[in-house]
Amino acid sequence: MPERISLEERLIFALDMPSADDARAWVKRLEDRVKFYKVGFQLFLAGGFPLVDWILARNLKVFLDLKFFDVPETVRNAVAQLRGRGITFTTVHGNDRMLEAAVQEKGDVKILAVTALTSLDQTDLEDLGFQCSVEDLVLSRARRALRIGCDGLISSGLEVPKLRNELGTGFVVVSPGIRPVANVDDQKRTVDARQAFAWGADHIVVGRPIRDAENPATIVDRMFRQIQAGLDEFTSRPRSS
């Protein structure tokens, strides 16, 4: 793994909610356990940098998931706005030139390249015109992103074994689409928390399974146990020379 990461920072809670007040309430509810929070499009439009700064001021980490996709100069200027704010990760979902522009301006922010959204499966990719497997698409995009200088990748846990086997461990992998049971929502390529870490993920992003639970703290504690089990499995696995 790229660096030592505390267990409480392995789980990134997705603050996918409509208002800054809702987000603040959830942070206060979970911050004794969860130390890393994702702010996406919906919430950033509602709360902006004041909300991000509020989270950071509580000695917590922020993953600003805006999936930049625009002409390279616009991506470059947008990423430059994040420098020096204390944000840990941001995402770019674009081609090589967009990724290059983001890397040039990243400063202290780690750039994560989106490989393939976990809401897409093989049929969706074929509908979009891709003539390859999901795994091959993820690996191709990952290889290019790391060569450009991205710090890590957004990838379903299903593709993490291939990424680690082919590309090593010198980069961050963040896996969304984590589900504790059989999936019934719009995420299609999912794994559970133990599997993600056993296969080599560094962080997972979890939203609905915690938010929709009768007792969110119980789900968080269960996931931490699963995360630790997965980490133990990954570190005990023999490595090829």
Per-residue pLDDT of 133-162, as tens digits, reads: 667 778 888 999 999 999 999 998 888 999
Which of the residues are catalytic? Answer: 65, 67, 70
Q: What is the pLDDT of residue 190?
A: 64
Does the predicted TM-score (pTM) go above 0.95?
Answer: no
Half-sphere exposure of 77 (CA within 13 A, CB side): 4
How far apart (Å, rounded) are the C-alpha atoms in residues 79 and 3?
Answer: 23
pLDDT tens for 58-97 read 999 999 999 999 999 999 999 999 999 999 999 999 899 9
Q: What is the pLDDT of residue 185?
A: 43
Region of residue 5 (phi > 0: left; psi between -120 and 50: alpha; otherwise: beta): beta
Residue 204 clears pLDDT 50, i.e. is over it: yes
Lowest mean pLDDT among 8-12, 21-25, 183-187: 183-187
How far apart (Å, rounded) are the C-alpha atoms in residues 42 and 82?
Answer: 18
Residue 19 clears pLDDT 70, i.e. is over it: yes
Helix, strand, coil distribution of the chain in percent, nearest 5:
45, 15, 35
| Residue 13, C-beta contacts closer than 8 angstroms, at least 6 positions apart | 26, 30, 34, 36, 37, 38, 205, 206, 207, 210
Residue 119 clears pLDDT 70, i.e. is over it: no
Residue closest to 175 by CA, chosen among 223, 123, 106:
223
Known binding site for substrate: residues? Answer: 16, 38, 118, 179, 187, 207-208
Asked if 79 and 102 count as a contact pair (C-beta separation under 8 A), the reply is yes
In the structure, what pLDDT confidence band is assigned to residue 177 with cuts at 50, 70 and 90?
A: confident
How many residues are given for the chain? 241
Q: What is the pLDDT of residue 187?
A: 46
Which CATH number is correct for 7-236, 3.30.300.30, 3.20.20.70, 3.40.50.2020, 3.40.50.2300? Answer: 3.20.20.70
How far apart (Å, rounded) are the C-alpha atoms in residues 195 and 61?
Answer: 24
What three-state secondary structure class fits 194? helix
Q: What is the pLDDT of residue 1?
A: 45
Mean pLDDT computed over every residue of the chain: 88
Known binding site: residues? Answer: 16, 38, 118, 179, 187, 207-208
In the structure, what pLDDT confidence band is assigned to residue 180 with cuts at 50, 70 and 90?
A: low
Q: What is the pLDDT of residue 188?
A: 46
Residue 124 clears pLDDT 70, i.e. is over it: no
Domain segments of the chain: what residues?
7-236
In the structure, what pLDDT confidence band is assigned to residue 123 with cuts at 50, 70 and 90?
A: low
134-148 vs 160-167: helix crossing angle, rounded to 10: 50
